[in-house]
Structure 1
């Protein structure tokens, strides 16, 4: 049985290009004891992979490596008594159209009331990132003002809605008028700023937030974050989820020196990795499912179809192609 796989053949210089990736074929064996033969249904493409390619996010991705990210797959053959043919599993897996993986570390998806893709988006690492970082680092209080950058993305769109649930005024920063409309209508943000057309983000922030900013949920970094942080209130909290504006820089970015602001405004600036909260994932999923059931959270996904679309989907993250979570559908479920 042959498997198609996606290999990173060279480290991108600046923006990733299709030439950095290559599809290869490899003969598969049979699952050994404790292994599963899997048919991927969805594979997640994530901005952190770009940082991993530059040595900035563990584990590093090196030239020649088969790319690995989270996915959902169907069990085709099982050599582990905990799983049966037709089961669905979620976990880290190689970018292949069929693969053999160890059963340990995979999550058995038994409750499929929602579409399978939701377990990689609103109930996956993106929804959990929004939930835990906002609750544990942002510590929102009713009546506070919160700004979210990358607000139409997978994490930002959920973080903003959680802020609204908890009683905050929420402003989102996005890169198009279509996304501005999305977050203010479907996701109920109080206002949106299109950073690509706005000529003075600092002035617009001051106009929209005359009371200052208490929480900044940052997915972007760069000059957008410089403007937001300069308008923070004393004891403001900055949650650093990502710095996608810097991932493809070929030169070291410079900008305002933030430490004086941190001192004089007594700011908390904290980054995190979702693995910090892995022992509490079920707690987070229960709360997110509860809000979904109450119609308090909505989500959107951008799904491209076909294994060969993985590089284009990944590159699209940096072009603003996606609204919500970016996924690639590899195959359909089998009916046994």
Structure 2
């Protein structure tokens, strides 16, 4: 089993990717309910934590029902990242994860995220500082390299293992690719095949169906897969992958009743964590995903987005349940 120190994981664990403005506790709750084995917070700015910025501090919230859960950090300063590892440890996660993969301009141009792929010595020093400042397991998420001329993830894997990381997740794209094109898992497989590598290697990128998860497991030999965008509004992807990998059979897609129930659970958790105003506002981005393929989905989504309080949202969900709308996709 690809355990991470004392964190017990199944034979082929499914990880929920840390996604900015998505992977908050309400979203993690519905993914956990559907079989996610290991989850991470949204990535947290080390500079924001040092400044005690409210948004960064709130992202430290973790709950027992989420375990095992990792707090993911990003930053450009070695010393600051070490300090933030200690701060994050106090929040009580099961591990600390370092983001060396975020490709967005606002992060990379400040020397954080995927930018560290252009400065491997600094990446190694930063990782060592994080390991030194927490008793928890430290893991890393990164990419193949900055661009096709700097595909250095094999070197990265060895050097980061040498300074103490206990698992590595690799997204099969370069920073320059952003999220375009098809993810290339061949280098991920080479890391896994490297006899020097003893830590679990997880693959990320384009896992959007049970068939692809099993195909990539077989073809590339990874210890597990990380699922991101495919879980938005469809947390059932985790249970479907688990069932397919185990049995070779596809589960039936969720019924309308299941979609409504899961949307309501997500909404309840959002109100509980964010409060009525922010909780209602932040759920608005999820409705289109939950009801994708439903006849009349656009009008239902519009009404849900326009709802001003929880009572209105619950009433609209009841209307959807009572309607004769059917799922067509």
Question: TM-score scaled by structure 2?
Answer: 0.30
Name the structure with the higher strand share.
Answer: 1
Name the structure with the higher helix share.
Answer: 2
Question: TM-score scaled by structure 1?
Answer: 0.30
